[in-house]
Amino acid sequence: MKYVYFFGAGKADGKGDMKDVLGGKGAGLAEMTRIGLPVPAGFTITTEACDHYFKHDRKYPRKLREEVAKHLEHLEKLTKKKLGDAKDPLLVSVRSGSARSMPGMMETILNLGLNDASVKGLAKATSNERFAYDAYRRFVQMYSSVVIGLPKEDLEERLRNLKNSLGVKDDTQVAADGWRRLVGEYKDYFRSKTGKDFPEDPVEQLWGAIGAVFESWMGEKAVTYRRVEKITGLLGTAVNVVQMVFGNTGEESGTGVCFTRDPSTGAKDFFGDFLLNAQGEDVVAGIRTPMHLRELSKVMPKVYKQLESVREKLEKHYRDMQDMEFTVENGKLYMLQTRTGKRSPAAAFRIAVDMVKEKLIKVEEALERITPQDIERLFYPVLDSKISRPELASRKIAEGINAVPGAAVGKAVFTAEDAEEWAARGERVILVRRETSPEDVGGMHVAQGILTATGGKTSHAAVVARGWGKCCIVGAEKLNIEAAAKRMSVDGRVVREGEWITLDGGDGSVYTGEIGLVRPEPPKDYETLLKWADDKRKLGVRTNADTPRDARAAREMGAEGIGLCRTEHMFFKDFEHPEKSAERQEAIQEMILAETSEARRRALDKLLPFQRRDFIGIFEAMDGLPVTVRLIDPPLHEFVPHDPEKQRELARKMGISPEAVARRVEQLHEANPMLGHRGCRLSITYPEILEMQVRAIIEAAIDCQKRGIKVLPEIMHPLTLDKKELKILETATRRVADAIITQANVKLEYLVGTMIELPRAALLAGEIAEVAEFFSFGTNDLTQTTMGLSRDDAGRFLPEYVDEHKAGIFNEDPFQSLDTAGVGMLIEWAIQRGRKTRPKLKVGICGEHGGDAESVKFCHRVGMNYVSASPFRVPISRLAAAQAVIEAKKNKRA
Amino acid sequence: MKYVYFFGAGKADGKGDMKDVLGGKGAGLAEMTRIGLPVPAGFTITTEACDHYFKHDRKYPRKLREEVAKHLEHLEKLTKKKLGDAKDPLLVSVRSGSARSMPGMMETILNLGLNDASVKGLAKATSNERFAYDAYRRFVQMYSSVVIGLPKEDLEERLRNLKNSLGVKDDTQVAADGWRRLVGEYKDYFRSKTGKDFPEDPVEQLWGAIGAVFESWMGEKAVTYRRVEKITGLLGTAVNVVQMVFGNTGEESGTGVCFTRDPSTGAKDFFGDFLLNAQGEDVVAGIRTPMHLRELSKVMPKVYKQLESVREKLEKHYRDMQDMEFTVENGKLYMLQTRTGKRSPAAAFRIAVDMVKEKLIKVEEALERITPQDIERLFYPVLDSKISRPELASRKIAEGINAVPGAAVGKAVFTAEDAEEWAARGERVILVRRETSPEDVGGMHVAQGILTATGGKTSHAAVVARGWGKCCIVGAEKLNIEAAAKRMSVDGRVVREGEWITLDGGDGSVYTGEIGLVRPEPPKDYETLLKWADDKRKLGVRTNADTPRDARAAREMGAEGIGLCRTEHMFFKDFEHPEKSAERQEAIQEMILAETSEARRRALDKLLPFQRRDFIGIFEAMDGLPVTVRLIDPPLHEFVPHDPEKQRELARKMGISPEAVARRVEQLHEANPMLGHRGCRLSITYPEILEMQVRAIIEAAIDCQKRGIKVLPEIMHPLTLDKKELKILETATRRVADAIITQANVKLEYLVGTMIELPRAALLAGEIAEVAEFFSFGTNDLTQTTMGLSRDDAGRFLPEYVDEHKAGIFNEDPFQSLDTAGVGMLIEWAIQRGRKTRPKLKVGICGEHGGDAESVKFCHRVGMNYVSASPFRVPISRLAAAQAVIEAKKNKRA
């Protein structure tokens, strides 16, 4: 095995596609060298060496020293300089570089090779003593802190003392002697702390630096970064040992960072910063304000021209926008790094579309380059960047899980009723709850954002908010919420009802006060690219929408129908006429409290006109597109009040005793409601609910059809587990529907199908398809039951299961990205069996996974007809569906 | 299609094995005719005709009238009598008879064919006018009530009035004239009620009777009986039209019922009752006390001898104990019915074993004839039959679900603590709770029986009680339990703490007062038969046992190891030293309240000696047999107190604030605990629990082994869902175990395996078997997750799903008898995949289904190594495992 790759003088052992082994930086240096760009020579120690190091108790591979020595010798020959040479010494930088960019997470040592002898050689060779000793003190400082781990503050204190004693303020004012004195002080300090002399041997220095870079891979901040960014599967970091070039040797020198296109707009402008007479660290540190690249064209026109040609060459070569680092040493340009540049979502679209137009890439490649996050972040409002960081930090009171990105500002309220009341008088509110339940839906809907103290990304609050694209932070565990007292407190800070708070759903931060928001407009390239995706994809993309407003919004986002219209929110909330919500609630509660099927029927009769109107609105919005309506699903327990006050109120309204209400509520309580009396089980035990709902759907459809609206209703029974069960439901559905259709003397086509959300239904899909005209996989519940995981409770241990540095059992939260191994196996089986029985069986998915790109790709692979996603995730699904086609094509080729 | 089958004069169209078509009675009559027994002639209208009748809107099959007419003519020819003849008329009985005995559920009409003309013929032919008019009035009465539906009371009132007017008391004292008068009065009444004359046409009478018998199949009591007895899949009832023979023509006549062996002991004694000069109804009605068969040998020695030969012939023919009805008419014997006789559990064993010894049947047949219920009922105590029915009825206060059969008597207590306190001072108690939780286990264990107001057959109370074979009634919904007030009330009747109550787990009845119990001793034939079963079966039979006492009991019942030793009960209860239970509870609660892993470890250290001692006891009891120990499974929530009083107490003991305790309890609360933080997830997040438990198991095993006890520990991780997860657990398990073994310098073999109780684990069993040395299917949870059914909550709708007269979606409660279609598919898949990876994978089942006969047979078919059942169900599993072998052999042959 080869552990070291050389590059220099136009030749390189490695290549640009060897990121896994050479890291991004090493691969870039090799590739740039190959294509003839000016790159200082050097060599890369592979990530495999790092992997070996940690797998073998921090021992290097056996031949590594030998290989390094060989390549160092080669480097010395090429540069005609020697490490530690007293005349004109070779200096090197030692930098980390893994396959994925982890900015600032790992270590770098510059100017390595300096010692008391070689510093003199450097001074002589550059005719610049001050420069040489400045470089030396930088090296000693960096080595002491990075390699040895001495406290930075102690070192900096000595620098401060030096400047004080010299009576100067800036480093630039310190002369050679001052730096020499500082080196001496650093070395004394080093000795006092370590009991050893500072290493003068450059080879010892080099191995110290290599070890430090390896160690930084497992440093706490790097580990945390990888966990947070979900970076997994890497071998480790590579180590790049590169000849030093200096941007700080005078006014003919400098250092810079540039992008081949504008990373925030995507415009084809050459974009970057340059600092005259400075080293790379100075740019990063932001001590001096750099000049724009434009100015460089005036200061160093030759260099600028050369850089422009590098820009062109690199972009053509990599066929993507590049982010480059360079240094100019005495008028000579050196490229130190190139990598694919990070860009804003808007820029991502613009660059992808422009490059297709420029014929640099194909449509497929453009589609592949857009990520779900690009789309997501394109639409969510964000905190106005005008507010200063310190200001922001001082206002931050808590952090939760960023369930739905975007930002929201409003006055804190602590109950759903208050939210509605405040909103009714025109206030913007943030609903703050311990956790939310369907009862809160009205309040959630009017709120700008939602904040809860418990729950994870798939808690009720998160799921509902995501459906609306509404900013939501959950599981902010530090919040001590006192709903009764209408306030919350965090570490002694109290926020009362009516006080402004701001949520940043991007990172889960909660701030006090009103912070300005900006909502980005999607660029025109977004439409272009999504149209390309539509042309490419085979999967239909529908939406999960429960109200006409959501339906319209989703249609604008490109939804081709509704895959899941949940009817239960309608029981609580009149979204079009909020003042009528109470009437609905009373009717549903009356229905639940009814003791006989006649009384239930009477209560349901009151709900019928409401439901019918809801469906009319939805059918109108979806004119010409299919609408899948799921009949009642949640347990009745969710519809009744749980606190005694509200129970008394309900009792008064119903004219029964509060005890009777309490008793019924108690009766409805379940140990595991998720596995309880819900879904189509309600329609089996209370067929009158099914009858009312089917009537509302069919009457609404007939009403719309008469007015020239094209209606394609699909009636869906949830939680089915057996063919016989579905047959009973289907028979009841058709009996009601066909009677209405016959009576109305019209023709109306409708489908009857089922959700597949229990393992048994998936297993017996072949039988169930004898009755069902379509399947819609409810992957939320299918995941819960297949894995035995309650999504409301999994927050207690699932993070540990997903964290690769803890148990690391799953790569992804299975509620966010489909568990293709387990749940996916059931889905595939069910589709095969279902289609065997009914070849034209329509198959879709309507769980949260329908808006997750990886899951959408799985849906394509297993041959579904469509996916259904929340309105705001429809574009993601459209894109993912296209990417799935491209991936499948590639896999077929491979 | 042939709808009518004739029998008579030694020939029959039908046969004994045509029960499905001819009903039990019709098939018996045909078969007895065939083998030359004296049977009156007649014909049977098939159950298929009945099926047609109900499927075609109560219309008879087209050719039925023709067929009946033809066979009636044949009957008249054979008997040389004519229906309705004025000289010597043919009379017939019309009786129902379905494939399964439904005693008293359907209708019978006797003496059909009498009218004003033929009654005179009968009088002449029998020279007995009184007999003829008595028969006539019986017929008119029966026809009016059964066929027409006139109220019986009105008819009986007229009989009473007649006797009053005649000044007589008994029917026997009424002469011909009186009966003639009564017939007139009945007919007047008939006319007044129906507006029509009583039908004189015998054919019209016959069709009236046939229709009435068919209708009785769908009568409310028959439907209810079938539902309660779970009789399904029958076509309907047959109708038997048979020439009347009379046991009431004088002292040379009579009627009787007899068994070929004693149905209560199984002894080979001819056993039965006989009534001189009487009709069949008189025996059933129990008006006169019949004589024993012995006496018949004296009164009618010839008839008795003939009957003895019939007995011998029938038993040889049917190769089983028969229950026969016969009539003697003027010294001539007629057999009216034969069927396989119902018998007591003890008799079932004795007859089966005796018949094998008599070479009447083979061992296989003997094994097939014993039912799980026979075994079950053999062991459970029952109410002493000495108490009178009315007495019993007056004491009955409620009815619940008979979760565990048997009976129990004790003083009512309303909390687990009270149960333990009362029991400690030697009182027998019945624990009455709304529902039970693991906290109650101590109280449940000391109670004689358990009564709950909620829950179904697989609620916590039922499952735990079944494991102990302890009488348990659940879901007695009428009970209004006020635990705080230490009392319960039902319909205004109050039972206070300390009052005696009696539970009959056989039928779910709850009685006030102390009713005597008897506990049957198993007969010696039981041992013989179970040994035969052991010789035959391939499946191992283990037991689910958590204490040394249960382990010993199970071993006596024939268990060949422990398939499931749950460790969590041990956290609550010291079964051997109850006074130390508190110490255990404190330690586990301290562990849960601990904030750091060190504090958790300290608490666990206190538990270690207890667990070790528990395991020592269990290993001792199971010397030489394998013991599967399941590590902690339930959510921690179940171990902490939920009421504020106990929380305060715990806080005081732990030296922390009650708020801290309350907060932790609240934190542990889960929306769906069944799918929450439990099972091996606890060992993933709190590895120190696993470490303590493994240490306790291995140290106990080493201790036992040193004392010459053979220990075969199998360590089982519950709720696994992924190979990686199990790998982490397995590694941790072996690390702890191997270190102890090495340190002790012994050799100890142990296995590490997993439960398969989540669909995902079953689906990915192939991977999981790379790590697991054995699988144990936890079919309780696998059923819950596969079907999405919480067994605690399913009581709300599952009965409707199982009831064939409601939704009828399942044949059996899937928590009692395995859902082989769905859950079974997963099990089969998992076994195949698991064995593919690890051919010697040991596979068992440890859910409740391991003690259900049908489920055990499934386990045999899919190739498991063993089943594990509650101690008291071990014999059932032994038998079922043998029956499975026999069935498989038969199926192979077929």
What span, in angstroms and rounded, lies between the C-alpha atoms of A167 and B31? 126
The pLDDT value recorded for residue B287 is 57
pLDDT for residue A462 is more than 70: yes
Chain-centre distance for alpha carbon A352: 20
> What's the whole-number mean pLDDT along residues A426-435?
93
Q: Give the closest-approach CA distance of B571 to chain A in angstroms.
A: 22
Distance from CA of B819 to the nearest CA of A (A): 10
Residues paired with residue A756 on neighbouring β-strands, in sequence order: A777
Scanning B195-229, the segments in alpha helix (DSSP H) are: 202-217, 220-228
Q: What is the pLDDT of residue A350?
A: 95
Chain A residues near residue B810 by CB distance under 8 angstroms: 722
Q: How confident is the model at residue A382 (pLDDT cuts 50, 70, 90)?
A: confident
pLDDT, tens only, B669-685: 898 999 999 999 999 99
Which of A674, A677, A721 is nearest residue B796 as measured by Cβ atoms?
A677
- The pLDDT value recorded for residue B228 is 59
Mean pLDDT, chain B, whole residue set: 92
Give the pLDDT confidence score for residue B285 in this predicted structure: 55
DSSP B233: S
Instruction: Give A481→chain B minimum CA distance, Å.
Output: 13
pLDDT for A369 beyond 90: yes
Instruction: Identify which of B672, B725, B807 has the shortest CB distance to residue A673.
Output: B672
Which of B789, B813, B819 is the mutation pick for testing A, counting most A CBs within 10 A? B789
Over 70: is that where the pLDDT of A287 sits?
Answer: no
Burial of B163 (C-beta count, 10 Å sphere; 0-12/13-18/19+): middle
Which of A459, A632, A675 to probe by mutation at the B interface, max B CB count within 10 Å? Answer: A675
Q: Do B674 and A671 touch (CB under 8 A)?
A: yes
Tell me the pLDDT tens digit for each residue of B70-100.
999 999 999 999 999 999 999 999 999 999 8
Lowest-confidence range among B42-51, B159-168, B616-625, B798-807? B798-807
Q: Whole-angstrom Cα distance, residue B563 to residue B64?
A: 59
pLDDT digits (tens, 9 = 90+) for B438-484: 778 888 988 999 999 987 765 778 867 876 778 999 989 889 999 88
pLDDT in tens, B492-503: 899 999 999 999
Residue A417 has which token pair? 């009723």
pLDDT tier at B398, thresholds 50, 70, 90: very high
Q: What distance in Å separates the CA atoms of residue B620 and residue B641, rounded to the nearest whole number?
A: 33
pLDDT > 90? residue A805 = no
**Predicted local confidence at residue A838, as pLDDT:** 98
Judge: A675–B789 Cβ closer than 8 Å, yes or no. Answer: yes
| Whole-structure pTM value | 0.81
How deeply is B117 buried, as exposed, middle or buried, from its count of CB atoms within 10 A (0-12, 13-18, 19+)? middle
3-state secondary structure (DSSP) of residue A728: helix
- How many A×B Cβ pairs under 8 Å? 175
Looking at residues B362-390, what average pLDDT do you find?
Answer: 88
Give the model's pLDDT for residue B232.
82
Q: Which residues in chain B touch residue A760, judged by CB atoms under 8 angstroms apart?
A: 786-788, 819, 822-823
Q: For residue B674, what is the nearest residue in chain A, using CA coordinates?
A: A672
How large is the average pLDDT for residues B195-207? 96
List, for residues B145-157, the tens digit of each pLDDT value.
999 999 988 999 9
| Residue A284 pLDDT > 60 | no
pLDDT at residue A228, as a whole number: 59
Which stretch, A402-416, B191-205, B794-808, has highest mean pLDDT?
Answer: B191-205
Q: Report whether A787 contacts B721 (CB < 8 A).
A: yes
Closest in A676, A679, A801 to B793, CB measured = A676
In this complex, the residue of B685, B728, B764 whose CB is nearest that of residue A821 is: B764
Q: What pLDDT does B467 receive?
A: 64
Q: Give the confidence band of A621 by pLDDT, cuts at 50, 70, 90.
A: very high
Task: Give the mean pLDDT of A475-488.
Answer: 90
Mean pLDDT of B262-279: 87
Confidence of residue A492 (pLDDT cuts 50, 70, 90): confident
Contact (CB<8Å) A675/B758? no
The two three-digit tokens of residue A309, written as one number: 């040609």
Do A571 and A634 touch, CB atoms closer than 8 A? no
What pLDDT, on a 0 to 100 scale, did the predictor assign at position A568? 86
For residue A784, give the chain B residue with the closest CA: B675
Determine the pLDDT at residue B187: 97
Question: Which tokens sit at B107?
Answer: 């209708």
Nearest to B786 among A679, A759, A784 (CB): A759
Three-state DSSP state, B143? helix
Q: Kindly state the tokens that stand for B258.
A: 């007899």
Q: pLDDT band at residue B104, thresholds of 50, 70 and 90?
A: low
* Phi, psi of B727, deg, nearest 5: -65, -45
Mean pLDDT of B585-613: 91
CA dihedral B629, B632, B634, B640 (to 10 degrees): 130
Average confidence (pLDDT) over B302-313: 96
Return left, alpha or beta for A8; rule: phi > 0 is left, psi -120 to 50 is alpha, else beta: left
Closest alpha carbon to B348 in B543, B470, B559, B520: B520
Q: Which of B297-311, B518-532, B811-825 has the lowest mean pLDDT?
A: B518-532
Q: What residues of chain B lie within 8 A of the CB of A786, using their CB?
A: 758-760, 763, 785
Residue B387: pLDDT band (50, 70, 90) is confident
Among all chains, which residue has been given the structure tokens 């301290």? B590
What CA–CA distance (Å, rounded) separates A855 from B139?
76
Task: Report chain A's C-alpha Rg in angstroms.
Answer: 33
Q: Residue B824 burial by CB count (10 A; 0-12/13-18/19+): exposed, middle or buried?
A: buried
Q: Pick A393 or A385 by higher pLDDT.
A: A393
Q: Determine, for residues A760 and B719 on separate chains, whether the beta-carbon distance falls below 8 Å.
A: no
Look at residue A573 in the predicted model and tell me its pLDDT: 81
Question: So what's the pLDDT on residue A458?
Answer: 58
Spell out which residues of chain B touch residue A764, defining contact as CB-CB under 8 Å.
821-822, 825
**Which pLDDT score, from 0 to 100, does residue A445 have?**
86
Residue-wise pLDDT for A338-364, tens only, equals 999 888 788 899 999 999 999 999 999
Q: Which of A460, A637, A717, A860 is catalytic?
A: A460
The torsion angles phi and psi of A3, rounded to 5 degrees, stand at -105, -10
Q: Which residues of B touch A826 (CB under 8 A)?
A: 759, 763
pLDDT in tens, B12-23: 999 999 999 999
Residue B520, pLDDT > 80, answer no
| pLDDT (0 to 100) of residue A455 | 78
Q: What is the pLDDT of residue A664?
A: 87
Band of pLDDT at residue A283, cut at 50, 70 and 90: low
**Does the distance separating the beta carbons of A721 and B788 come in below 8 Å?**
yes
Nearest CB partner across the interface for A758, out of B679, B719, B787: B787
Percent of chain B whose predicted confidence (pLDDT) is above 70? 97
Mean pLDDT for the stretch of residues B52-60: 95
- Contacts A634 to B, Cβ<8 Å: none
pLDDT at residue B568 greater than cutoff 60: yes
Contact A675 B673 (CB under 8 A): no
If you average pLDDT over residues A402-413, what whole number do you get? 90
Q: Which residues of B touch A672 (CB under 8 A)?
A: 672-675, 784, 790, 792-793
- Among chain A residues, the shortest Cα distance to B821 is held by A764
Whole-number pLDDT of residue A780: 95
* Mean predicted confidence (pLDDT) in A846-852: 93
Contact yes or no for B855/B849 (Cβ under 8 A)? yes
For all residues of chain A together, what is the average pLDDT? 92
Higher pLDDT: B291 or A395? It is A395
Find chain A residues with C-beta within 8 A of B758's C-beta: 786-788
Q: Nearest by CB to A797, which of B677, B728, B809?
A: B677
Structure tokens at A446: 């009017």
Confidence of residue A333 (pLDDT cuts 50, 70, 90): very high
Q: Which residue from B minimizes the CA distance to A796?
A: B677
For CA atoms B370, B375, B376, B377, the dihedral sign is: positive
Active site residues of B: 460, 846
CB contact under 8 A, A674 and B763: no
Mean pLDDT, residues A435-445 taken together: 82
pLDDT of residue A581 exceeding 90: no
pLDDT at residue A870 in the model: 92
Q: pLDDT by residue (tens digit) across A529-558? A: 999 999 999 999 999 999 999 999 999 999
Residue A103 pLDDT > 90, yes or no?
no
